């Protein structure tokens, strides 16, 4: 049986480990024993407490596995991916890091490694859908609108995060890249909000985020944009926090203690955004393509 190691046992990594354990020998690795303890009911999953930021320990852990899954927070994703590639292991990675993954292209080739990055819903599944359609038609325009939302809408944010809140905030602060007339352009995250009607859901609000990712280089489509979907009014509340400095990464002195506002915001928002046990959520995705023959 193939052996798979999942790095990170958070909200997403733990689910990946559980799903894969039905078909593979799975080991889940995390520095936080509390996360691994949640996998205790799944006796077939091996649990390992280790600091994977230590590249020597990481290389030793993953050396006997057939595939590595990277499911760490975005701020440590690029370095972890680089260390995995240096160890010569194939990897599928879901982390939302800000660095350009193509900086590791030569390293992966030199180590004969296949690294599939941004391997989530969007980016991820949306890339695969676009890639398929691009083999069937000459696409002039691509727009992806996507978001995960709870069925139960709770004031004020009407949102629950199925992954790290710090990475959700990163969606709201990282400049959004898009393609217009063949040129990569940049807008502020949360900009250009628009209402979108989704069948069986109702009206949602879409705004710019940096979701195209690798598509910016892999697809030669002259016009591409990605927007995130939320319930109406969510964007306004988030913009208030953003404009008030709550998402700043600079340090502030608070009574002699150095703190980053974004860390405090993540701590405060996590209880509000945390999915309760058995709470249902859904993902909405609406893709729009326009082919050249339409002109």
The predicted model scores a pTM of 0.89
Q: How far apart are CA 171 and CA 15, in angstroms?
A: 22
Q: Are residues 74 and 151 in the same domain?
A: no
| Cα–Cα distance for residue pair 184/202, rounded to 1 Å | 32
Does one domain contain both 93 and 137? no
Instruction: Decide: 117 and 214 in contact? Cβ < 8 Å.
Output: yes
| Structural domain total, the chain | 2
Please say which residue of 116, 146, 165 terminates a domain.
Answer: 116
The confidence band for 293, taking pLDDT boundaries of 50, 70 and 90, is low
What are 56-85's pLDDT values in tens digits? 999 999 999 999 999 999 999 999 999 999
Boundary (domain end) residue, out of 116, 137, 152: 116
Domain that holds residue 52: 3-116
Is 280 found in the same domain as 137? yes
178 shares a domain with 106: no
Contact 190, 172 (CB under 8 A): yes
CATH of the domain at 74: 3.40.50.720
- Of 116, 138, 163, which residue constitutes the final position of a domain? 116
Indicate the pairing of strand 46-49 with strand 223-230.
Answer: unpaired
Kindly report the CATH number assigned to the domain that includes residue 173: 3.30.360.10
Q: Based on the fold, state whether residues 95 and 130 are members of the same structural domain.
A: no
Residue 143 near residue 288, CB atoms below 8 Å: yes
> Are both 108 and 187 inside the same structural domain?
no
Please tell me the predicted confidence (pLDDT) of residue 186: 98
Q: How far is CA 56 from the centre of its chain?
A: 26
- Is 295 a residue whose pLDDT tops 50? no
Same domain as 156, residue 290: yes
- Distance from C-alpha of 15 to C-alpha of 261, rounded to nearest angstrom: 30
Q: In angstroms, rounded to a whole number, what is the distance separating the alpha carbons of residues 91 and 25?
A: 16
Shared-domain flag, residues 131 and 31 = no
Nearest C-alpha neighbor of 123 from the set 11, 209, 58, 236 = 209
Cβ-Cβ contacts under 8 Å for 119 (sequence gap 6 or more): 92, 93, 94
Q: 110 and 160: one domain?
A: no
pLDDT exceeds cutoff 70 at 219: yes
For residues 111 and 149, state if they share a domain: no
Q: Are residues 138 and 22 in the same domain?
A: no
Model confidence over 224-274: pLDDT tens digits?
Answer: 999 999 999 999 999 999 999 999 999 999 999 999 999 999 999 999 999
């Amino acid at each position: 049986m193939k052996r798979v190691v999942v790095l990170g046992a958070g909200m997403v990594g733990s689910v990946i480990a559980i799903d894969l354990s039905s078909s593979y020998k799975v080991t889940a690795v995390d520095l936080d024993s509390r996360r691994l303890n949640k996998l205790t009911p799944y006796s077939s999953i091996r649990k390992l407490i280790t600091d994977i930021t230590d590249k020597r320990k990481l290389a030793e852990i993953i050396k006997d596995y057939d595939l590595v899954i990277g499911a760490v927070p975005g701020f440590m994703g690029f370095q972890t991916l680089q260390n995995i590639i240096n160890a010569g292991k194939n990897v599928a990675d879901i982390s939302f890091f800000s660095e350009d993954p193509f900086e590791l292209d030569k390293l992966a080739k030199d180590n004969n490694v296949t690294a599939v990055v941004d391997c989530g819903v969007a980016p991820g599944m949306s890339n695969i859908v676009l890639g398929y359609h691009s083999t069937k038609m000459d696409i002039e325009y691509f727009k992806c609108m996507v978001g995960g939302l709870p069925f139960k809408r709770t004031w004020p944010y009407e949102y629950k995060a199925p992954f790290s809140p710090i990475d959700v905030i990163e969606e709201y602060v990282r400049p959004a890249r898009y393609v217009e007339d063949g040129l990569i352009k940049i807008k502020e995250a949360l900009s250009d909000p628009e209402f979108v009607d989704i069948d069986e859901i109702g009206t949602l609000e879409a705004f710019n985020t940096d979701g195209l990712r690798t598509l910016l280089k892999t697809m030669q489509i002259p016009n591409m944009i990605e927007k995130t979907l939320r319930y109406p009014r969510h964007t306004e509340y988030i913009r208030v926090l953003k404009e008030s400095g709550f998402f700043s990464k600079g340090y502030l002195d608070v009574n002699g203690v150095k703190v980053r506002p974004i860390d405090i915001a993540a701590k405060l928002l996590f209880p509000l955004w945390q999915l309760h046990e058995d709470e249902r959520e859904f993902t909405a995705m609406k893709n729009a393509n326009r082919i050249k023959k339409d002109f």
